[in-house]
Each structure stands twice: as C-alpha cells, then as structure tokens.
Structure 1
Amino acid sequence: MTLLAILAAAGLLLIVIEIVFIPGTTIVGIFGGLLSGYSIVKAYTDFGIETGHAFLLANLIGGAIILIVCFRSGVWSKFANKSISDGKAIDDLDIELSVGDEGITLSDLRPMGKAEFKNKTYEVQTLGAFCNHPSKIIIVDISRYKIIVQPLN
C-alpha cells in the first residue's frame, strides 16, 4: 500500500512538474498520469473497491489542491508577459509625400515593393501592374496605410 501511495504522489508530482516547470513537453505529464492511473488501478485490483475508491478520491483531491496552490501562489506570474504594447500592427503613415510625386523603385513591384521618394524608402503598391527595378514611378493615391503608384512612361 505504501508503494501505491508513493506511485500516486510521484505521478502527481510529475504532472505538477509538467504544468509548472516544463510545459509543452507532455511526456512528463503523460508519465505522471500513467503513474497515478496505475496506482489507482492497482489499488482496485489488490485491495478492493473501498481502497480503490479511496485512492481515486485522494488522487483527485490531491491533484485539485496542488493545481489550486500552483495557480494562487503566483508561480504563473514568472511566466506572464507583463509588457504592454502601445503600438498597432500598422501605424498610420507619417509621410511628407503627395499625389504626383515621382520616385524610383528599389525593388521589383509585384505588385508591392520598395521605392524611394525624396531620399526616403517607402513600401508602395501598384494597381496590379508589375514594375521592374529600377523604374521611375509616380504616386497616384495615398490612403491611410498605402502608397499607390504606377509606372511613369
């Protein structure tokens, strides 16, 4: 019976190690679950229904208590990302360009690529036409997030 209690405790300990210290590997957690499960099954087969129920209940209560203690103790705060991002996925374009400005491509535009206007590099987009590098281009539209260009003929 002592061996079964040690197996059950070791199983719970391995599950805690899986959750707290090395999350994502699942091998340690699976092994811990197998140990706990084996101790419960062995208690049923060797000592009868009452002892099996007691082991099952002890494993469930012990596991719940351990998880509650882990969550409330602040262990997870060590893993939490506490930084706050004040940016956006796409910031508003802060540009000094206007429709009609001419520039040159720094890469092929298929339909997006890099171009230079007024000695600054911008990401630009054509209206579907491909434009080889180096080509002269002109701005035809500036929306909130895009600079639309077309080849200058």
Structure 2
Amino acid sequence: MPWLTIALLLLFGLLFVAAEVIFIPGTTIVGIVGFALLAVGVWLGYRDLGTPVGHYALAGVIAVAGLIVYVGLRPKNLARVALNSVNDASVQDVRRPDVAPGTVGRTLSALRPAGTVLFGTDRREVVTRGEFVASGSEVRVLGIEHNRIVVAAA
C-alpha cells in the first residue's frame, strides 16, 4: 500500500504545480505546497520502495514538472493572462478648475453659505465667505479654495 500513497503524493504534487504555473500564477503558496508534496513523495519512494524506484520517481517528477513549467511559461500562454491593451483615457484634474475666477453665474438655490449656481449650462456646488445670497441672484467666482468654488454676490 505504500506505492498508492507515494503515487497520490506525486500526482497531487504535480497537479498543484500545474495549477500554480498554468491556472493561478503568482500565488506561490500553491506552488510551494506542490513542490513539498513532490519532495515527500520522492523521499517516501526512496525509503519505502528502494533506490531504483526512487530514481524513477525522481526522474519522472523532474520530467513532468519541467514540461509543466515549460508549457505554462511559454509566451503564447502568458499572453492570455497578461494585460495587452493600453488605457489612454483621462480624467479632469481637480487641480485645474473648470470655472475660472471672475466667471459670472446665477444662483439656482439660496447660498447659506453653500448652494448651487448655474455657470452657462453647468451646475456647480459653491460656497460664499459666509454671506447669504438669495436664489436667482448673480454671483462672481472669487477663486477655488480646497476644491470648493468660492463666490460673492456680483
């Protein structure tokens, strides 16, 4: 019965190595477990079944594991799991204000001290320096402070 244990250790060791190289590369834990199972299986083969069987087990494990690594690390196979497309999209940088200082807009809500202002066709949340501005009033942008548009009545 020791031959069944050794065969299962070697089989599962090779399956874990194949899973590491082909299916889930980069996890390392699965590969370490696979190599540990292979080492224990070869060691038990030498101990329980003798030197010739141990040599056959070692040669077979080296050949099959080498084939798995070769097949798994071919550039064609790596291209299937690698990112090949380039993302050249951009986002608006918050450090570049889209409403320039001095721009005039009309309040859509009362500013107490924060509210909504319409600049052309763009709605923006704005704040005042503490004063109340009624709805429908014209306001002028004073500047951008900490990602907030600061306005005052025009």
Give the shorter-chain TM-score range.
Answer: 0.5 to 0.7
- For residues 60 and 105 of structure 1, the distance between their equivalents in structure 2, rounded to whole angstroms, comes to 75
Matched-pair contact (CA < 8 Å) for 1:102–1:139? yes
Q: Confirm whether residue 152 of structure 1 aligns to residue 152 of structure 2.
A: yes
Structure 1's 81 and 122: CA in aligned 2 closer, same or farther, altered over 3 A?
Answer: farther
Q: CA deviation at 1:101?
A: 1.5
Matched-pair contact (CA < 8 Å) for 1:8–1:59? yes
- For residues 47 and 72 of structure 2, the distance between their equivalents in structure 1, rounded to whole angstroms, comes to 32
Structure 1, unmatched stretches of 5+, are 107-113
What's 2:65 paired with? 63
Q: Secondary structure at the match of 2:88?
A: coil
Q: Confirm whether residue 139 of structure 1 aligns to residue 144 of structure 2.
A: no
- The letter of the residue matching 1:152 is A
What's 1:110 paired with? none
Residue among 100, 103, 108 paired with 2:102: 100
Residue among 28, 40, 51 paired with 1:38: 40
- The letter of the residue matching 1:13 is L
- The letter of the residue matching 2:141 is I
Q: CA deviation at 1:117?
A: 2.0
Counterparts of residues 70-81 of structure 1 (less than 5 Å): 70-72=72-74, 74-81=76-83
TM-score (norm 2): 0.54
Q: CA deviation at 1:71?
A: 1.4
Matched-pair contact (CA < 8 Å) for 1:139–1:147? no
- For residues 47 and 29 of structure 2, the distance between their equivalents in structure 1, rounded to whole angstroms, comes to 26
- For residues 72 and 87 of structure 1, the distance between their equivalents in structure 2, rounded to whole angstroms, comes to 31
Q: CA deviation at 1:11?
A: 1.6
Structure 1's 53 and 98: CA in aligned 2 closer, same or farther, altered over 3 A?
Answer: same
Q: CA deviation at 1:116?
A: 4.2
The count of residues paired between Structure 1 and Structure 2 equals 141
- For residues 42 and 89 of structure 1, the distance between their equivalents in structure 2, rounded to whole angstroms, comes to 60
**Greater gyration radius:** 2
What's 1:86 paired with? 88
Name the Cα RMSD after superposition. 4.9
Q: CA deviation at 1:72?
A: 1.0
Matched-pair contact (CA < 8 Å) for 2:143–2:150? no
User: Where does structure 1 differ by over 6 angstroms across 4 or more consecutive aligned residues?
Assistant: 24-27, 134-137
Matched-pair contact (CA < 8 Å) for 1:138–1:149? no
1:93-115 per-residue CA deviation (whole Å, 9 max, x = no partner) reads 695x4321244589xxxxxxx86
